[in-house]
Amino acid sequence: MGKTPVPTTERRTSTHGRHLSVVTLGDLIARVNAGLNFTSFTLLVVGLVFIRKRDLHRHRQAMTAAFWTSSLFLIFYLTRVALTGTHSFAGTGLARTIYLGILISHMVLAVTLVPLVLRLLWLVQHRRFREHARWARWTYPIWLYVSVTGIVVYLLLYHVYGFR
């Protein structure tokens, strides 16, 4: 009874009675998301190797895993933004210009990617493999770019320049 309650927007209590700040949780989610982006990138490259070897079963496994990894990323990203909001990049000058160029292209292509990937999945479900291959030629490099630039944005924002 002697403790003053802490507003829930500032701290969360874990099952062990320790307090975890929302900012700390947001930073943890950002780190997990960088790992998910790297995993997605790796799975995409592996999927390409398998399709070039005509190993359709392993290609499907790799690409399905890339889809679920990217989906999990999106869920965690939206959770982090809901908890901590967006961040303002602390770098200035040319660094800020480069960062914003990477970030804007990343965001535009990430939004574009969602219907493209869903289209690829629909085509596979309907066994329209030739059309799937044509769409994949455009979708694949966008997905790779979004995965890599997601990691770059994380590194610049959390490890190189920081945020305000």
pLDDT tens digits along 18-34: 677 888 898 999 999 99
Q: Indicate whether 62 pLDDT > 50.
A: yes
Q: How far apart are the C-alpha atoms of 117 and 46, rounded to whole Å? A: 17
What kind and span of H or E run contains 58?
helix 56-84
Q: Indicate whether 9 pLDDT > 60.
A: no
Look up tokens 């790297």; give the residue. Answer: 38
Residues 58-67, mean pLDDT to the nearest whole number: 98
Residue type, 88: S
Distances (CA, A) of 86 to 55, 67, 78, 147: 41, 25, 10, 19
Is 163 or 148 the better-scoring residue by pLDDT? 148
Q: Indicate whether 147 pLDDT > 80.
A: yes
* pLDDT of res. 4: 39
Q: How far apart are the C-alpha atoms of 89 and 52, rounded to whole Å? A: 40
* pLDDT of res. 16: 58
**Of 72, 50, 74, whose CA–CA distance to 62 is shortest?**
50
Q: Indicate whether 155 pLDDT > 60.
A: yes
Residues 101-128, mean pLDDT to the nearest whole number: 98
Widest distance between CA atoms in the chain:
69
Is 75 or 13 the better-scoring residue by pLDDT? 75
* pLDDT of res. 22: 86
Q: Indicate whether 5 pLDDT > 50.
A: no
Token couple for 22: 């929302």
**Of 69, 98, 75, whose CA–CA distance to 157 is shortest?**
98
